[in-house]
Structure formats: structure tokens, C-alpha cells
């Protein structure tokens, strides 16, 4: 019911009709500077903004922006009124070679959209959306450039800025994609959205989840909001891709609908699936079970676990933990992507427990389980007399007990995945192993 209420509140957010607040085709220049530009927040040098009078997209003039360094330079409008929570669409034409992006300055420089990499001698139109987080009579719209390459560098023409209606969407809408890049379909746009806060790091950045499953969580890069875990919130933000991680930033109009809500149950995943196919679990509360610590110090605050399906790094972005090598852990945390790999981020001490789902006892017995992976059955060869065999799933739940020493142990009716085999012997010993069931 809470989820339904949040959705109703989302679609009730009203935005004003679209209106043009600024336009420039760089036709007028004064003192070598284009009229309406080079505001107080500009950091690009005036001699790096050059009037172009041939090959323009519109009219007789365009602006060439030169910044060959990898550090961005701001080219801003003159000060004007911007309003808190209002989103603005910045449309511009560009050609040449370099990186370009947009932002809005209200009382701070705010959060930038993702860079657009340009490498073409043909004029192309792009649009990005920015949202003001505060009202200001001295706001400025920012064109940010870097890595320009001569002779054309980046040539800019026909800039138009209008207020825009912001769509109300779920976090699942923001995250779900079939694009191989993993980029959000709303990349570069402002959205109204909401969900329940599931984690907060030491800088105040937080994670929000809008549903119980895959694609339902997202990272919010914002240090200006006061939220608590369990808060149900709605807000406006810009969607961007930062080093291939979908994030929301430039948060405005945040409302705490209610507090103390129960969190969605963590999605159970295997370490191997998360490490190799974790796109759907970015920002989602997840859990891995009976994962062996195979590397207690993987560098940069990370440690590695493996439940038999593949290695996954646990990182200290939210909470730092010192593991014991070869101990088995149940770990709850936020699915994350950074430095080209998927990870799990535990939030506090209770997110990490010694695994109790299955005993890890080895009595020096000699066993062999085959085939592994198994599709229909598996066979056990052992130098001990087997009295029974328990089969557990990856979260430590007993699936079945096979009594006696069977020739074949049937598994065709069970879902594909990693399972744990607990073998009981006549001597009272317990032997544990892993098997993958495939289809």
C-alpha cells in the first residue's frame, strides 16, 4: 500500500508549461565576447572563445571553444533567475572534436550531466536536462568542455534553454535496459521518482529502492539532503552515467513521505552471477550466502568471497570489515559497480555473519561427486559408508534428504544453480561439497 501511495504522489507533481528562458545563435559579439555569455562562473579564458563566421549552423556566427586539457572549463550564460525544483532543457548544436556537457549554477555549481563525446565535422543537435536545487536571481547555465582537438576544437551554435515538464517514473523505469552499454534510457534527463532509502554512506550519498527485485535500486549522488534508512521519499533528480554506474544527482524537491518503513527483502544472488552479470542489481539490496573468504585483503579495502559459483569482491564504501581467510559468510549489502567490476557493499556489522546454513566439516574422507555440473542426477564415490545425503540450496535451505547410499541421486526437478551436498557416513562423520545443477 505504501508503494501505491508513493506512486500516486509522484504523478501528482505538477510542472509548469514549457517556456523559453534563453536563446543564442552567437550573432552578436561585444569586445570579442558573445553577448549573453561569459557569466561570472565562467572559467574558460576569453581568448579560448573564438567567433567563427563560416560554416555555421545558423546565421553568420558561431562560437569555437578551445580547451585541450582533460580538466573541464565552464562557459556560462550571464546571470538570470532559476527556480528550485524547476528543470530546464538545454538544446545546442555542435561539431568538431572534444567532450561537452551541461549543468546549472544556482547557489553551487550543481551536478553535471554525462559528457557527450563529439568527433564530427557535421552539425549535430543534442539536448540535456538540468534541475535547479535552489532558487537564485543569479543563476547561470553551464556548457562544460574538455579534450578539444584542433583545428575545429568544439564549435557551438543555436543554444536554446526552456523549462521542461519532468516525467514521473519508477526506479525500475530508470534502471531497466536491454542496451549492452547498461546505460539508463533516461540518461541526461530529469525525472520525478521515489522509493525507500536502503543505505547511506559517510558522505551522505544514499541508495533508494522502489521495489523488491532486479532493476529496482539506484545510487543517489547528493550530500545536501537529510534522509534516514527506512524513509519513503519522492524527489526530482537528473539521471546520468558516471563511469558506467547509473546515478541520480542534482536532487531537488525532496519530500519525506513517511519514516521507519520496512526495507524490501534482499535479493538472493550467487557470487558468480553478481560478479559477471550484476547490471540488474546496481543499487539493489542483495544477499550472498555461505561465501568463502578466498582473499582477506584484495586491496583498497576490498576482500573476496566465493560461494562456488565465482569470485566477488566485497568493498568498504559504506562499512569496513576485517574478514578471516577461509571463513564462510552470509553477506547482505548494496549491489554496486566501480572500477570496471561489480561488488557488494555491506552497510553495517549486522550485514555480515558467519554462515550457519551448512556445516563445513571435512574429516579427511575421500569423495568424488560426478557429473558436476549435473543435469539429471549425480553419483557419489566415497571411501566411507554413506547413510544419507542432504541437498541444500545457496541460501542454506534444505531441499531434500536422500536416505541410504544410492547409485544415482536424482536432481532433474530442481532449479539450475549452486547447491551444497552434506554427506553423512556410518562413522558419524559429515562431509560437505558443492555441486552445480544445470539445465
pLDDT digits (tens, 9 = 90+) for 381-394: 888 889 999 998 86
| Domain assignment present for 209 | yes
Shared-domain flag, residues 245 and 273: no
Is residue 436 very low, low, confident or very high in pLDDT (cuts 50, 70, 90)? Answer: confident
How far CA 362 is from CA of 83, 304, 366, 422, in Å, comes to 66, 22, 10, 10
Looking at 163, 184, 219, which one is the last position of a domain? 163
Closest CA relative to residue 145, chosen from 78, 63, 40, 67: 67
Q: Provide the grid cell at 433.
A: 561439497
| Domain assignment present for 309 | yes
337: left (phi over 0), alpha (psi -120 to 50) or beta: beta
Here the CATH number for the domain that contains residue 62 is 2.60.120.260
Shared-domain flag, residues 202 and 126: no
| Domain assignment present for 362 | no
Q: Between vectors from CA 63 to CA 61 and to CA 69, what angle results, nearest 5°?
A: 160
Shared-domain flag, residues 232 and 290: no
Here the CATH number for the domain that contains residue 312 is 2.40.50.140
Query: What share of the chain in percent tops pLDDT 90?
Result: 67
- Burial-class residue 245 by CB neighbours within 10 Å (0-12, 13-18, 19+): middle
Closest CA relative to residue 219, chosen from 331, 315, 204: 204
| Domain assignment present for 361 | no
pLDDT digits (tens, 9 = 90+) for 130-189: 888 889 999 999 999 999 999 999 999 999 999 988 899 999 999 999 988 889 999 988
Query: What share of the chain in percent tops pLDDT 70?
Result: 93
Shared-domain flag, residues 155 and 61: yes
Looking at 163, 178, 212, which one is the last position of a domain? 163
Shared-domain flag, residues 33 and 147: yes
Shared-domain flag, residues 171 and 37: no
Here the CATH number for the domain that contains residue 376 is 2.60.40.1220
User: Measured between alpha carbons, how far is 120 from 313 in angstroms, rounded to an integer?
Assistant: 40
pLDDT digits (tens, 9 = 90+) for 143-158: 999 999 999 999 999 9
- Helix H or strand E segment including 71: none
Closest CA relative to residue 146, chosen from 118, 122, 111, 104: 118
Shared-domain flag, residues 36 and 134: yes
Q: pTM score, two decimals?
A: 0.64
pLDDT digits (tens, 9 = 90+) for 341-375: 999 999 999 999 887 554 444 445 667 788 888 99
pLDDT at position 395 over 90: no
Instruction: Count the domains in the chain.
Output: 4
| Domain assignment present for 294 | yes
Shared-domain flag, residues 53 and 153: yes
Is residue 13 very low, low, confident or very high in pLDDT (cuts 50, 70, 90)? Answer: very low
Shared-domain flag, residues 22 and 158: yes
| Domain assignment present for 86 | yes
Q: For residue 292, what are the β-bridge partners? A: 306, 328
Looking at 123, 138, 163, which one is the last position of a domain? 163
| Domain assignment present for 359 | no
Shared-domain flag, residues 229 and 299: no
pLDDT digits (tens, 9 = 90+) for 249-264: 878 889 999 999 999 9
Q: Do the Cβ atoms of 64 and 75 come closer than 8 Å?
A: no
Q: For residue 338, what are the β-bridge partners? A: 341
Shared-domain flag, residues 144 and 63: yes
Q: What is the DSSP string of 151-193?
A: TT-EEEEEEEEEE-PPPB--HHHHH----TT---TTTT-EEEE
Shared-domain flag, residues 32 and 43: yes
User: Measured between alpha carbons, how far is 131 from 83 in angstroms, rounded to an integer?
Assistant: 9
pLDDT digits (tens, 9 = 90+) for 301-329: 999 999 889 999 999 999 999 998 988 89
**Residue 333 sits in which domain range?**
267-354
| Domain assignment present for 285 | yes
Amino acid at each position: 500500500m505504501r508503494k501505491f501511495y508513493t506512486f500516486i504522489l509522484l504523478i501528482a507533481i505538477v510542472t509548469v508549461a514549457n517556456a523559453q528562458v534563453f536563446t543564442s545563435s552567437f550573432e552578436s559579439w561585444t569586445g570579442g565576447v558573445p553577448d549573453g555569455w561569459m557569466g561570472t562562473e565562467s572559467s574558460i579564458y576569453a581568448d579560448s572563445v573564438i567567433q567563427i563566421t563560416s560554416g555555421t549552423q545558423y546565421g553568420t556566427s558561431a562560437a569555437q571553444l578551445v580547451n585541450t586539457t582533460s580538466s573541464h572549463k565552464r562557459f556560462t550564460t550571464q546571470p538570470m533567475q532559476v527556480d528550485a525544483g524547476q528543470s530546464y532543457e538545454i538544446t545546442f548544436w555542435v561539431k568538431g572534436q572534444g567532450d561537452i556537457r551541461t549543468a546549472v549554477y544556482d547557489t553551487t555549481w550543481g551536478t553535471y550531466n554525462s559528457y557527450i563525446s563529439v568527433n564530427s565535422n557535421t552539425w549535430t543537435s543534442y539536448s540535456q536536462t538540468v534541475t535547479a536545487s535552489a532558487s537564485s536571481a543569479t543563476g547561470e547555465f553551464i556548457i562544460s568542455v574538455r579534450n578539444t582537438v584542433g583545428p575545429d576544437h568544439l564549435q557551438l551554435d543555436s543554444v536554446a534553454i526552456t523549462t521542461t515538464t519532468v516525467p514521473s517514473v519508477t526506479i525500475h523505469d530508470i534502471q531497466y535496459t536491454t542496451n549492452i552499454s547498461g546505460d539508463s534510457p533516461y540518461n541526461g534527463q530529469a525525472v520525478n521518482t521515489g522509493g525507500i532509502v536502503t543505505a547511506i554512506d559517510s558522505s551522505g550519498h544514499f541508495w533508494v529502492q522502489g521495489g523488491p527485485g532486479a532493476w529496482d535500486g539506484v545510487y543517489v549522488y547528493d550530500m545536501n539532503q537529510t534522509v534516514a534508512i527506512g524513509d519513503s521519499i519522492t524527489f526530482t533528480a537528473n539521471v546520468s552515467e558516471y563511469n558506467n554506474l547509473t546515478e541520480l544527482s542534482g536532487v531537488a524537491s525532496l519530500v519525506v513521505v513517511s519514516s521507519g518503513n520496512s526495507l524490501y527483502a534482499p535479493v538472493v544472488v550467487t557470487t558468480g552471477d553478481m560478479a559477471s552479470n550484476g547490471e540488474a542489481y546496481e543499487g539493489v539490496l542483495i544477499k550472498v550466502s555461505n561465501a568463502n573468504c578466498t582473499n582477506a585483503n584484495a586491496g583498497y579495502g576490498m576482500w573476496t568471497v566465493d560461494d562456488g559459483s565465482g569470485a566477488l569482491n566485497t568493498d568498504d564504501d559504506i562499512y569496513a570489515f576485517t574478514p578471516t581467510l577461509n571463513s564462510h559468510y552470509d553477506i547482505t549489502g548494496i549491489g554496486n559497480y566501480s572500477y570496471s567490476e561489480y561488488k557488494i557493499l555491506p552497510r553495517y556489522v549486522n550485514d555480515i555473519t558467519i554462515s550457519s546454513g551448512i556445516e563445513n566439516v571435512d574429516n579427511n574422507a575421500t569423495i568424488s561427486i560426478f557429473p558436476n555440473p549435473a543435469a539429471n542426477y549425480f553419483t557419489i564415490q566415497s571411501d566411507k559408508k554413506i547413510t544419507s545425503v542432504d541437498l541444500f540450496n545457496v541460501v542454506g535451505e534444505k531441499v531434500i534428504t536422500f536416505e541410504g547410499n544410492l547409485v544415482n541421486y536424482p536432481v532433474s526437478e530442481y532449479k539450475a544453480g549452486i547447491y551444497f551436498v552434506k554427506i553423512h557416513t556410518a562413522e558419524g562423520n559429515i562431509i560437505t561439497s558443492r555441486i552445480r545443477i544445470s539445465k
